[in-house]
Amino acid sequence: MNFRDAIHWALDALISQRLRSFLTVLGIAVGIGAVVLLTSLGEGIHRFILDEFTQFGTNLIGITPGRASTTGMSGALISNVRPLSIDDADALDRIPRIEATVPVVQGNAAVEFGKRSRRTYVFGVDADVPRVWQLAVSRGRFLPADRAADARAYAVLGSRVADELFGNTNPLGRRIRIGGDRYRTIGVMAAKGQMLGFDLDDAVYVPAQRALAMFNRESLMEIDALFAAGSHAGGISERIRTLLITRHGSEDFTIVTQDQMLDVLGSVLGVLTLAVGAIGGISLLVGGVGITTIMTIAVRQRRAEIGLLRALGAGRGGIVALFAIEATLLGAIGGVAGIVLGSGGAWLLETLLPKLPTHTPLAYATLAEALAAVIGLLSGILPARQAARMDPIEALRAE
């Protein structure tokens, strides 16, 4: 019997027992569908978070006060940590290949205009925010490049804040109160949307020096540095570290490149994707047990057929191949059904819940189909070997 005949024999066997074959295929389909659906969710979340983190560009380095790791030193040394200052940001701005820096102070305060008031995020920054954070101004202009000591009481509103405070009224030139202090509105930002649940349009931007005074802080929360495209982030980080150690006397700060953040994030999300795929693999294991059970029953029911094949000259290897092909076909058909089920479920979830992103890569679908076929093959090997070991005379007597 050649390979083509073996395929026909296996298909005839599956068709002749439609209900049994359907239930077996269903077991594999549910397992593959669970794997595809869960990995699609994991991959969708992976891509979504990476897109969120990179919407401000990829040539960014963040510097924060304090060390992110300990070195076993006495806690008394904490008092020696110097705050990050606007002068530090100005010094970093002079490092070669750094194009701009943004000192960042963040807090929450009441913003008032007339009888309207709302609490919102307040960012203390400088004139380079549109360039470094890749934000756009829709009306007016952003904060001017004033010296920190002479920073004027200007404010730029996020699009949502402007709409809620002013409605259809032009906010440019209007005076508002932020945290009890008076500011003149000189610009409105273009709508940016949300990043990781934070509404970037529900914010107000003021000069960093004034934000430090407003929130009674001595240190900046962060300095963001934009370096030139094509530069090596590691080399730029070392220059920043050397300069700040010279200014502070010790390494009392933490430098994080965006590449480092994305690497850590990617590894965490990769583990998450594998974890949810492993959970779906439990269902796949159940499907494999189902194939083994069904094929074992099939061997017992078709003893006469096996005896006839052996009497006609089929060797043990041929019998093993026939039942292995049948089991592999069951797994492959179940895999196709599972891919349709899983990818269809992922599409339906994204349609019903647009904020829950899903993505089914072709590589995942191909791997799932191959996995289903392999599980079918492995599940059919044991029953196939049982069939091959049958004595042909005893098998024919079962007729």
Residue 183 pLDDT class (50, 70, 90 cuts): very high
* SS3 call for 109: strand
Q: Give pTM, 2 decimals.
A: 0.63
Q: Which of 118, 125, 122, 167 is nearest to 142 (CA)?
A: 125
pLDDT at 65 over 80: yes
Lowest-confidence segment of 25-34, 289-298, 301-310, 345-354 by average pLDDT = 301-310
* SS3 call for 67: coil
pLDDT digits (tens, 9 = 90+) for 191-217: 887 665 567 789 999 999 999 999 999
pLDDT at 36 over 80: yes
pLDDT at 338 over 80: yes
pLDDT at residue number 75? 39
Mean pLDDT calculated for residue range 348-365: 79
Mean pLDDT calculated for residue range 333-345: 87
pLDDT at residue number 373? 82
* SS3 call for 60: strand
Q: Which tops the pLDDT comparison, 177 or 14?
A: 177
pLDDT at residue number 73? 41
pLDDT at 76 over 50: no
Decide if 65 contacts 81 (C-beta within 8 A). Answer: yes
Mean pLDDT across the chain: 80
pLDDT digits (tens, 9 = 90+) for 242-300: 999 999 888 888 888 877 777 777 677 677 767 766 776 676 677 777 777 777 776 66
pLDDT at residue number 79? 42
pLDDT at 85 over 50: yes
Q: Which of 206, 205, 106 is nearest to 159 (CA)?
A: 205
Q: Which residues, at least 6 apart from 289, have a Cβ–Cβ distance to it below 8 Å?
A: 379
HSE of 193, CA atoms in CB hemisphere, 13 A: 8
Question: For a pLDDT cut of 90, what percent of the chain falls above it?
Answer: 26
pLDDT at residue number 72? 43
